[in-house]
Structure formats: structure tokens, C-alpha cells
Amino acid sequence: MSSIRENILRLKDEIPQNVVLVAISKTHLPDMIMEAYGTGHRIFGENKVQEMVGKYEVLPKDIRWHMVGHLQSNKVKYLAPFVSLIHSVDSLKLLQEINKQATKNGRVIDCLLQLHIAEEEEKFGLSFDEVKALLQSVDYRSFQNIRIVGLMGMATFTDDMDKVRKEFKGLRQVFCEIKTLFFEGNDDFQILSMGMSGDYKVAIAEGSTMIRVGSIIFGERE
């Protein structure tokens, strides 16, 4: 069985240089994260606030922590002092709270708007129209301490890669339209976070600039 070190180096060697790897470390112990850290990797993703805070407290402070799971407004205050990127912004209310907590911490927090692109209803995210409404809102324009730097989406969990490809292609089109409508000439808006262990190759082929991979690096969770 290959080691975490071998897995992450192989994956980084395989993906294009313009694609950022977020190593999804949820449920994995700090010593496993440190094995990946030892390769020079610094970007790790978690989906539960409590777990992320616990790891932040015991691991090196140059790690850039990404929140990739559904985020409740009442938990934002725990992440606000240190989170590097929030992938899962799916409401104006959540963005409002992130801005409020970022202000308290004297920070600007980078965020991605999560789009609902999968068929499964239980997946979170905004529609294209909801994204446009949010970005046109008076509230959004008043926020001084958040920065929208791109979009995130999760494809349907299926072996049908044609379906997955179609969903990623659609997200890429939305990304281009949103960029044209709201972020023309704004170099901050450049992240398209799509692709996980089972579909990252398809995602990269369809224009992803950030992939969220866990099991390929750390092995299956116990």
C-alpha cells in the first residue's frame, strides 16, 4: 500500500500546474495530515467546524484551512479568525455573518458561492438566478470584509461520467457568465472548485482550477 507522501506527490505530479489541490483531511488524524505536510503541501480541507478548529489548534500555523462542508451561520465565529477559504456559501444570510465575523477579526475572508448542479436534492447550493440576485443585492454591495473569489459545485454521485461531465460543463458556463456580468476585469474571481476523488479528472478536463481530494491521498476513512 502506498504512503500518504507517495499519494500526494503522485497526484500533484499528475494534475496541471494551474489546478490547486485541496487535501480533504476530514476524519483523519493530525499525524496523517503532518505526513502530507511534510511534502510541502499546505492546503487542507475540512467539512466540520469543530474538527477544523481542533486541528488548527494543534497543527502548524502556516496551513491554509478550507471549509468545504455545509456551514451554519452560528458556527462562523469559530472559523473566522483563521479560515483561508470558505467553499460553501449558499445564502446571503451566511455571507452576512461571515462579513460580520471577519470584521470583528480585522480580516477579509475569501469565499466561493456554492451552486447546486447535482440531481440530488439533499446537496446544498444556489441556482444561477439566486447567485445573480445575491450579487445584485444592496446588502452584498455593502460587505467590506468578504471577497467572492469564485464558484464551487458538487456533481451527482454516480458512475455515469457523461452526466458528471455535463454538470461540470454547466458550472463552467455559469462561472464564465458570472465573471462577465459581475467580475469583469477582477482578477480575484478566478477559482472554479469542482472535482473530488471520483471525478477530478473529468472536472479538470472541464475547466476546474481547484480540486478537493481526500481518499486518494489518505485512503478510505475508517
- CATH architecture under which domain 4-218 falls: Alpha-Beta Barrel (3.20)
Kind and range of the H or E element at 79? Answer: helix 76-79
The pLDDT of residue 2: 80
The domains of the chain are located at 4-218
The pLDDT of residue 94: 98
* pLDDT per position as a tens digit, 56-85: 999 999 999 999 999 999 999 999 999 999
* pLDDT per position as a tens digit, 122-142: 678 999 999 999 999 999 999
The pLDDT of residue 44: 98
Q: What own/partner pairs with CB < 8 Å and gap ≥ 24 does 55-58 have?
A: 55/25, 55/30, 56/82, 58/30
Q: In angstroms, rounded to a whole number, what is the distance separating the alpha carbons of residues 9 and 76?
A: 33
